[in-house]
Amino acid sequence: MKKIMYNVFLNKNLLLTKNLTQKQSFFKDDIFNETFRLWDPKRSKFASAILKKVELPLKRDSNVLYLGASHGYTCSFLSDILTKGCIFCLDFAPHVVRDLVYLCEKRKNMSPLLEDANHPENYKNKISKVNLIFQDIAQRNQVQIFLKNIKTFLNKDDYAILVVKARSIDVTKNPKIIFNDVEIELRKHLKLIDRASLFPYERDHFIFVCQVK
Amino acid sequence: MSFEKLRLKNIEETKQKIRASIKKDILLIQATHSLEELTKSLNQLTEALRKHYELYLPEISKTIQDPQIFIKLISKSKNQLIKEYDIKDTLGIELKEKDLEILKDYINEITTLYRLEDNLTNYIENLTKEIAPNLSKEAQPLLASKLLALAGSLKNLAFMPSSKLQLLGAEKALFRHLKNKKKYKSPKYGIIYNHQLIQTSKEKGKAARHLASKLTIATRKDYFKR
């Protein structure tokens, strides 16, 4: 077993995290054995980014704001890693946040938020200090939302990660053109550290790792 | 404020928000989905029952097409049916008591499911009339409830341009057209095709456009009135 990050291990091809709540399973087939949980890269873009060897600025004491948490699959694994930090999971569809609330009640470092990521001023006072933003939402204006949230929450030298889904920006355009446009837009405001396509795991997805100037 | 306190507060607040988000139109949409699934599976179940029953008395299943009447008929006994329909020489076999029992059980269950379908349809019609009176007057209540289900909520439908409402339910054809405009033509109508105005008119595209604009106005009236 090889250690990749804090609490993250690679066993042959399988990505594992050390379980924060012992022996408890939250999703289908996520229990590997008593101490580890199995992380499926096809369900989680963060996991596929790790396997693609993207440089991810996640430490165990980071405070993360996760935009587009959905059922909380990725969030639950991030909370395994963030043993000294915390994570705020935000989504705006009530029926998926229901699952998220159950998850947050069991994990002490997760906090749910039912808000629209378009309006960061609405949930500004529900969040303590944050130094990393991870965004994975399927909206047309996802880049603008990303920049808006960075402006409200991050300080200089903090990191932000954006997963772009080309199909939700414009189905008719070629994904490569969209990714180029996004990169140009991001470079105007941020320092780009790493970027990669998530190809074998997700189609038409691209990940950008940025640092605030 | 410490993280622990903030977390508990957020959980409490989120729970309240989730509870508050469930309104009447969400209830209606869920009922519509249930009805759709029920109808689909009822058709399959009836089809299976027909095949099962044809081993016993195939003539009835061949003559009667309507599923509800068919179910009602076959709950009678075989001798009765033979007399009623004057069947001389059936191709079916005699079944033993044991085999007949399970068939009867099956028929009873499907009959109750048909009753449930009727009840659900009634419920949906009444609820749609209550939530969107103008829309259900303009379109039939069942069509209105399907439109609401496709849009996601009454608010979404009210904020929709009428051209989008016209194509609700034809997303596949629309995106096929957007990707390759030369090869595929744009669809003219989506689910509103089931409306009798479009069914009866000769210029279907034109009728769909008119109907969609009327439905949009009706929905907006419903949404902003309350």
pLDDT confidence of B145, banded at 50, 70, 90? very high
Of the two residues B88 and A137, the one the predictor is more confident about is: A137
Half-sphere exposure of A163 (CA within 13 A, CB side): 24
Identify the residue among A106, A126, A129, A167 best suited for mutation to test binding to B, counting B beta carbons within 10 A and taking the highest. A126
Identify the pLDDT of residue B226: 67
CB-CB under 8 Å, A86 with B18: no
CB-CB under 8 Å, A172 with B7: no
| % residues pLDDT > 70 (chain A) | 100
CB-CB under 8 Å, A172 with B178: yes
ipTM above 0.90, yes or no: no
Predicted confidence (pLDDT) per residue in A67-109, tens digit: 998 888 999 999 889 888 899 999 988 888 998 898 888 888 8
CA distance A45 to chain B (A): 25
Predicted confidence (pLDDT) per residue in B92-120, tens digit: 888 888 888 988 899 999 999 999 999 99
> pLDDT at residue B182 above 80?
yes
Which residues of chain B lie closer than 8 angstroms to A104, CB-CB? Answer: 7, 11
Predicted confidence (pLDDT) per residue in A2-44, tens digit: 888 888 898 888 888 888 887 777 787 777 787 888 888 888 9
Of the candidates B1, B14, B179, the beta carbon closest to that of A113 is on: B14
Name the residue of chain B whose CA is nearest to A107's CA.
B7
Name the residue of chain A whose CA is nearest to B1's CA.
A128
Residue pairs between chains A and B whose CB atoms are closer than 8 Å: 50
Which H/E stretch holds residue A97? helix A94-106
CB-CB under 8 Å, A108 with B18: no
Identify the pLDDT of residue B124: 95
- Mean pLDDT within B198-220: 93
